[in-house]
Amino acid sequence: MAGKLYICGTPIGNMEDMTLRGLRILKEADLIAAEDTRNTIKILNSYDIKTPLTSYHKFNEEEKGKKLVEKLKEGANIALVSDAGMPGISDPGEVLINMCITEGIEVTVVPGPTAFVSALVLSGIGSRSFVFEGFLPSNKHMRREVLNRLKTETRTTVFYEAPHHLADTLKEMYEAAGDRPAAAVREITKKHEEAVRLSLKELSEYFRENAPKGEFVIVIGGISKTEEKSSVLTVKEQFELFLEQGFERKEAMKLCAKERGVSKKEIYAELLGKKSENRD
């Protein structure tokens, strides 16, 4: 009879966040597949767990995954853990989970802390509807596609980012999305937990002046209803809409600029260009 794969959440910082069920499963499993055995051994030592460890990470996910599936077929119960948080979220656990599902092996989850959910709650930014993007792609074309979606995204968007890329990434996000409510959350559940809540532009500037430390979760608010409407209107259409609402021409241009996050000069140049095209 085949064994079972247990997807076990582990602490993202504070060791006390390990659940009672999680501890029991780690003790009772025949084997623990860990993304980094050096991290997992700290948890095992803290709770006097003697279960054998094996390494399972992105550099051996296919080859090692097949071996783990064979062990499961032979009847072993395996606990899958990541470096921190829930396996399968921005880590190789997803590959093993899908291998097991394909082979008809029973898979169950032992819930635990998840960094992006914790950061979303800490940010104070709307969480009724959100999208999790994880780390931005390294491929330039794919990265640009993800960032371009921010322009019209009405939901809150959550990203992961490493400290040495944070300032540049925030600048890219601001250039792509304009200014939005945002937060950069780090060291969740640890001694130096911090949530910096500013606009996206201010966050970009803040981390240019303050060297970021620790792994970060970036939370960005979605566009407002007004911005959403503006995003589907041309400058000329939006300008004329403000005129219809009774605003003077200068005030209408000022409002267009404010809604689009650009200067009045840019709005004027755009409108002038439209007029020249009409005359032609």
**pLDDT for residue 276:** 40
The closest of 124, 112, 129 to 185, measured between CA atoms, is: 124
Q: Model confidence over 144-198: pLDDT tens digits?
A: 999 999 988 999 999 999 999 999 999 999 998 888 999 999 999 999 999 999 9
**pLDDT for residue 279:** 40
Burial of 164 (0-12, 13-18, 19+ CB in 10 A): exposed
Report the C-alpha gap between 86 and 81 in whole angstroms. 7
Above pLDDT 90, what percent of the chain?
74
Q: Model confidence over 69-123: pLDDT tens digits?
A: 999 999 999 999 999 999 999 889 999 999 999 999 999 999 999 999 999 999 9
Q: Is the model more confident about 241 or about 87? A: 87
Out of 83-87, 241-245, 253-257, 267-271, least confident range: 241-245
The closest of 124, 137, 142, 147 to 219, measured between CA atoms, is: 124
pTM of the model: 0.78
Report the C-alpha gap between 40 and 208 in whole angstroms. 34
Whole-angstrom distance between the N-terminal and C-terminal Cα of the chain?
79
Q: Quick one: pLDDT band at residue 28, thresholds 50, 70, 90? A: very high
Under 8 Å CB-to-CB from 95, ≥6 apart: which residues? 61, 62, 65
Category of 208 on φ-ψ map: left (φ > 0), alpha (ψ -120 to 50) or beta:
alpha
Spatial contact of 27 and 128, defined as CB atoms under 8 Å apart: no
Q: Model confidence over 266-280: pLDDT tens digits?
A: 888 888 875 444 443
CA dihedral (96, 99, 101, 107) positive or negative? negative
